[in-house]
Amino acid sequence: MTHVLSLGGSIVAPEHPDSNFLTRFRNTIRTHVTASEDRIVMVVGGGGPARMYQQAYRSIEADWDAEEADWIGIAATRLNAQLLKALFADECKDEVVTDPTAVSAMTGSILIAAGWKPGFSTDFDAVLLAEQFGAETVVNLSNVAQVYSADPKADPNARPMERVSWADFRKLVGDDWTPGSNLPFDPIATRKAAELRLAVIAAGGRNIENLARILRRQSFFGTKIGPD
C-alpha cells in the first residue's frame, strides 16, 4: 500500500527546523516501513522560512508580484524536502520530486516531494502524486487536529467534525487559493481530490502516535474528508 502524506511546513520548520519533532517523525516512519510492505510518499510545505522570506519581499516591494512570492515559498519547500531526504537517506533513493506529473516510480520505500510551480500548493502536489501512485487517501498533517464546521476563531458555535463530504468541505474553503493561506486543505487540491474520489485525513501533525495509528489503518483522531 502507498501512503501519501502532505506534511505542513509549519510542522517541520515553524520558524527553524524542529529537530525534536523530526527525530520522532523519522523514527515512526522508519518503524512503519520496516514492519510493513507499505511505501510512503511525502510532500512538504515551506513553513516559517516561506512566510518569513515572502513577508520580507512584500514589505520591501510595494508593487509585489504574487507569482514571485509563490516562487519564494516553493524554494522554502525544496529546502525542507532536501532536509527530509537527508534524514531518510537509507529509504529515499530518488531525488526530491519537483514535478508531480513527471514521476511514476520510486526506487526506495520513501519518496519525498516539494513545491512544483506557482498557483499550486503542496496539497495539490500530494493529490497528483496520490493519482500517480494509485493511493486512495492523502494524509494531511498540519497544525489543525480536526476540521471545524466554521472558523472557530470567528464562530463560537463552530464544532469539530469526524467526517465531512467533499461538497460540504468545499463550502468551507471556497474556490480560490492564496499562497500562505491557513486552510485545512487548499481549495484547488480540494476540487481535484473530489474529482478523483480520493479521501483526505486531516490530523494534527505533531501527534506522532496518532500518525502511527493512521498508517496502520487503525482508529485515529482527526477528520476524514470525502469521498462523497
Task: Give the per-residue pLDDT at 224.
Answer: 95
* Most confident listed range (150-154, 178-182, 183-187, 189-193): 189-193
CATH topology (fold) of 2-225 = Carbamate kinase (3.40.1160)
DSSP assignment letter at 217: T
Type of residue at 203: A
3-state helix, strand, coil in the chain (%, to 5): 40, 15, 40
pTM over 0.85: yes
* Alpha-carbon distances, residue 159 vs 83, 86, 150, 151, 165 (angstroms): 36, 40, 7, 9, 15
* pLDDT tops 70 at residue 197: yes
C-alpha cell at 4: 501519501
* pLDDT tops 70 at residue 182: no
DSSP assignment letter at 95: P
What's the mean pLDDT in 115-143? Answer: 92
Altogether, the residues listed in the chain come to a count of 228
CA distance 4 to 111: 9
Question: Which strand (E) or helix (H) includes residue 215?
Answer: helix 208-215
Confidence band of 167 (pLDDT split at 50, 70, 90): confident
169 CB-side CA count, 13 A: 31
Can you say whether the dihedral through the CA atoms of 167, 171, 175, 176 is positive or negative? negative
* pLDDT tops 70 at residue 40: yes
| CA 105 centroid distance within chain | 20
pLDDT digits (tens, 9 = 90+) for 209-225: 999 999 999 999 999 99
Mean pLDDT lowest among 2-11, 171-180, 195-204, 211-220: 171-180
